Amino acid sequence: MAIYESEHTKFMREWMAKNPEQAAEQKAGRALWWDKPQEPEQTRQFAAGKVAHKAYPYSTES
C-alpha cells in the first residue's frame, strides 16, 4: 500500500536536499520564536489563574 505524500511535502523534501544550510536557519528561527526558557514559578501562577470554562459557552443561562 502506497503512503500519500502531498505536493508540499515533496517540495520541502527536495528543497531541503538541495539547500542543507536551511536546516540551521530553521533551527535559529524556531529558537527565536518558540524555544524559550520556562520559569517554573510563573508557569504555576498561570495555571493557578485559569478560569474554568462553561460546558457550553453559547448558553444564555447563567
pLDDT of residue 1: 64
- Spatial separation of the C-alpha atoms in residues 25 and 23, rounded to whole Å: 5
What's the chain's average pLDDT?
89
pLDDT of residue 62: 62
pTM for the model: 0.47
Q: Tell me the C-alpha to C-alpha distance, in Å, between residue 15 and each of 2, 10, 21, 58.
A: 23, 9, 11, 46
